[in-house]
């Protein structure tokens, strides 16, 4: 890293765009009823506004992470930011549902280009003993975006129209572009051959899997068209992805995915954990939103405010938790955060009753914020801690991809679980009656059963968080960091994939010579990796 590089201004510039992506993910759901009415479409079609974004976001992530290694994370981030901003303008100008779906797919591609670069820059410009604090800021941005998205969406839809949930991205995108252009450093790139066969195999395989899981409930897990079934698409995707992995193992030149990354136990573990977190974070909001808006009849803005304690507490605590995880083994921070999140959601599930006072529902929301603040920074810091510099982009792309795939699985699973829970509690209940934003709530005869069903549905997120805590507790190795010094010896060690066992608890600002790093590696590499 160049000594003139200023890591924190660079990170602040990047999180403006990252914040915009996260807000855009949550802001659109509030606009669905208005979009459905204004564009004269149906519920199944309007769901594609999210499905197209999700597919275009998830499928290219492995490729876009590698593009950051090849062309530089700053360049790829700026290109993605331009694509995302122009696609947002296109979304707002759409006069028919097909055009809006196409524009949302373009937005997803822009987000896929941007997201891995943020994490790659953190890995490359921050020394290992400061990455926890940087990831803490990254996590706090997610918390604030979770709060602002639904509230801002409700205000914009009520006052200016649904188009403005997309138009608002244009000025933000321009500001983010100028900030990133001026403050994010141009990092060195590697000239290498690009694995085009790997690109095709990974893209096709991921598309088939994500499409099958995402659209399975739409086709009732049966026939899509002719002999093509949902399960057939998923199996085909798994086969193609198996072929991709086999090709990566055989390709000795420039594989798209360096499988050696997974020899680092902490990297492999963090990918399993973040996929479970993706399941939980996607499964959590839907039952809560349905309970607040359908069972209690709260308007969208007020329902969003009921989740405000979670976002506020998480946003405030995340930077402090990030710094704390630089001083202790982040394994214990993650276990505490994941366990607290599981307890909070279990509490939520127990109090989701129509006669519960609103103030009582704010308490598990606040506890959940405490738990979530201890999840993202420790996991991300653990995932990237041992990555060699030239693998930062690829590793970030893999990590982001597994989180996104977990989110897709969580989305499909929670929809199925809610349907089963409703059938068990309210036999013969028409799901079309459960429409958020109905205003008046449900009839008294069904509101109790509906509330219990939503509480039971939350148990999926409880189980995902709890399982993730067990995985981290049982399998995580002690804290190990790569010694990215600025001398030629350290640089050479990083390029060779060396993992220096530096104990950051010995002092965050302590200087460690390359010779000491090499000696540490000899004694720790066999035990830690």
Mean pLDDT per 10-residue section of the chain, whose length is 529 residues: 65 86 77 79 72 80 79 90 96 92 93 84 74 68 70 80 91 92 79 77 84 75 85 93 91 77 82 84 80 79 80 80 75 85 90 88 91 81 71 72 78 75 75 50 74 86 82 63 39 33 29 32 34
CATH topology of domain 1-187: Growth Hormone; Chain: A; (1.20.1250)
Q: What is the pLDDT of residue 478?
A: 54
Helix (H) or strand (E) holding 209: helix 196-215
**What burial class does residue 443 get, using C-beta atoms within 10 Å of its C-beta: 0-12 exposed, 13-18 middle, 19+ buried?**
exposed
**The tokens of 492 are what?**
């050479």
Q: What is the pLDDT of residue 188?
A: 72
Partners of 229 in beta bridges: 223
- Other CB atoms within a 10 A radius of the CB of residue 171 amount to 10
Q: What is the pLDDT of residue 485?
A: 39
**Sequence spans of domains, the chain:** 1-187, 195-253, 260-476
Whether 1-187 and 260-476 share one fold: the answer is yes
CATH number of 260-476: 1.20.1250.20
Do 230 and 208 contact (CB within 8 A), yes or no? Answer: no
Secondary structure of residue 469 in the 3-state scheme: helix
- Give Dmax (Cα) for the chain: 74
Distance between CA atoms of 451 and 297, rounded to whole angstroms?
12
Distance between CA atoms of 174 and 359, rounded to whole angstroms?
40
Q: What is the pLDDT of residue 129?
A: 67
Q: What is the pLDDT of residue 324?
A: 78
Secondary structure of residue 38 in the 3-state scheme: helix
- Other CB atoms within a 10 A radius of the CB of residue 492 amount to 11
Q: What is the pLDDT of residue 482?
A: 45
Q: What are residue 79's phi and psi, to 5 degrees?
A: -60, -45
Q: What is the pLDDT of residue 284?
A: 82
Q: What is the pTM of this model?
A: 0.70
Alpha-carbon distances of 524 from 319, 343, 503, rounded to whole Å:
30, 36, 11
Q: What is the pLDDT of residue 294?
A: 76
């Amino acid at each position: 890293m160049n000594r003139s590089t200023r890591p924190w201004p660079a990170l602040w510039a990047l999180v403006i765009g990252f914040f915009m992506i996260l807000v855009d993910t949550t802001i659109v759901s509030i606009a669905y009823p208005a979009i459905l009415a204004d564009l004269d479409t149906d519920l199944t079609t309007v769901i594609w506004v999210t499905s197209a974004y999700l597919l275009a976001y998830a499928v290219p992530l492995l490729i876009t992470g590698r593009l950051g290694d090849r062309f530089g994370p700053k360049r790829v981030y700026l290109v993605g930011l331009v694509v995302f901003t122009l696609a947002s303008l296109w979304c707002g100008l759409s006069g028919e549902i097909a055009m809006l779906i196409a524009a949302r797919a373009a937005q997803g591609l822009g987000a896929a280009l941007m997201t891995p670069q943020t994490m790659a820059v953190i890995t490359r410009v921050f020394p290992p003993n400061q990455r926890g604090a940087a990831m803490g800021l990254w996590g706090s941005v997610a918390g604030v975006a979770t709060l602002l998205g639904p509230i801002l969406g409700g205000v914009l839809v009520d006052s200016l129209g649904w188009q403005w949930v997309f138009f608002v991205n244009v000025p933000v995108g321009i500001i983010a572009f100028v900030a990133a252009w001026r403050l994010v450093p141009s990092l060195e790139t590697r000239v290498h051959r690009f694995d085009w066969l790997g690109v095709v195999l990974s893209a096709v395989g991921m598309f088939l899997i994500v499409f099958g899981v995402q659209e399975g409930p739409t086709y009732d897990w049966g026939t899509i068209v002719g002999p093509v079934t949902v399960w057939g698409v998923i199996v085909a995707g798994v086969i193609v992805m198996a072929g991709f992995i086999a090709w990566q193992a055989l390709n000795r030149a420039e594989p798209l995915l360096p499988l050696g990354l997974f020899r680092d136990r902490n990297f492999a573990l963090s990918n399993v954990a973040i996929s479970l977190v993706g399941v939980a974070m996607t499964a959590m909001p839907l039952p809560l939103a349905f309970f607040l808006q359908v069972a209690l009849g709260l308007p969208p803005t007020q329902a969003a405010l009921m989740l405000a304690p979670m976002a506020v507490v998480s946003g405030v605590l995340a930077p402090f938790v990030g710094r704390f995880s630089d001083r202790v083994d982040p394994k214990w921070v993650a276990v505490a955060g994941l366990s607290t999140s599981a307890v909070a959601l279990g509490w939520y599930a127990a109090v989701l009753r129509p006669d519960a006072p609103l103030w009582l529902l704010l308490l598990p929301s606040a506890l959940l914020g405490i738990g979530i603040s201890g999840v993202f920074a420790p996991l991300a810091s653990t995932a990237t801690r041992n990555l060699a510099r030239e693998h930062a982009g690829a590793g970030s792309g893999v990590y982001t991809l597994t989180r996104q795939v977990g989110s897709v699985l969580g989305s499909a699973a929670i929809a199925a679980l809610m349907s089963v829970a409703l059938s068990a509690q309210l036999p013969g209940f028409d799901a079309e009656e459960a429409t958020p934003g109905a205003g008046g709530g449900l009839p008294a005869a069904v509101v109790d059963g509906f509330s219990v069903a939503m509480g039971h549905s939350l148990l999926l997120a409880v189980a995902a968080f709890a399982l993730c805590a067990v995985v981290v507790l049982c399998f995580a190795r002690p804290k190990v960091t790569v010694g990215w010094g600025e001398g030629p010896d350290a640089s050479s060690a990083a390029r060779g994939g060396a993992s220096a066992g530096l104990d950051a608890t010995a002092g965050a600002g302590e200087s460690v010579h390359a010779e000491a790093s090499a000696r540490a590696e000899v004694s720790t590499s066999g035990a830690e990796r």
